[in-house]
Amino acid sequence: GESVGLHLPTLSVQEGDNSIINCAYSNSASDYFIWYKQESGKGPQFIIDIRSNMDKRQGQRVTVLLNKTVKHLSLQIAATQPGDSAVYFCAENYQDTGRRALTFGSGTRLQVQP
């Protein structure tokens, strides 16, 4: 099997509970943020995004909160389900000398216990 996750912080929750995954970003000039979900053996999938002129954005069962003062982003998943088990990455986007750069954080593994 694949040896993964040894370097990742892991959040373990019970099915039905709410999950909160945190991310600290590095660039105060970042103006757009994305949360991605990556299941084992697959590429990252878009979950939700937020612009820097917003503090909160809600999707289906997910909410992203942005605190620009402390450069912190969080992803809240309501009523966590086994299918939510995956690695979650935050990404920040900023203008960098002629290109828009998307930089990914180190990821958090979410384990949902049935």
**What residue ranges bind other proteins (CB under 8 A)?**
2-8, 31-32, 34, 36, 41-46, 49, 51, 87, 89, 93, 99-107, 109
Q: How many CB atoms lie within 10 A of CB 109?
A: 18
In the bound state with other proteins, the residue whose beta carbon lies nearer, of 83 and 99, is: 99
Q: How far is the CB of 36 from other proteins (least distance, A)?
A: 8
* Contact indicator for 8, 109 with CB cutoff of 8 Å: yes
Cα torsion through 91, 71, 4, 76, rounded to 10: -80
In the bound state with other proteins, the residue whose beta carbon lies nearer, of 48 and 65, is: 48
Listed residue (75, 100, 102, 96) closest to 86, CA to CA: 75
Q: How far is the CB of 12 from other proteins (least distance, A)?
A: 16
Q: How far is the CB of 6 from other proteins (least distance, A)?
A: 6
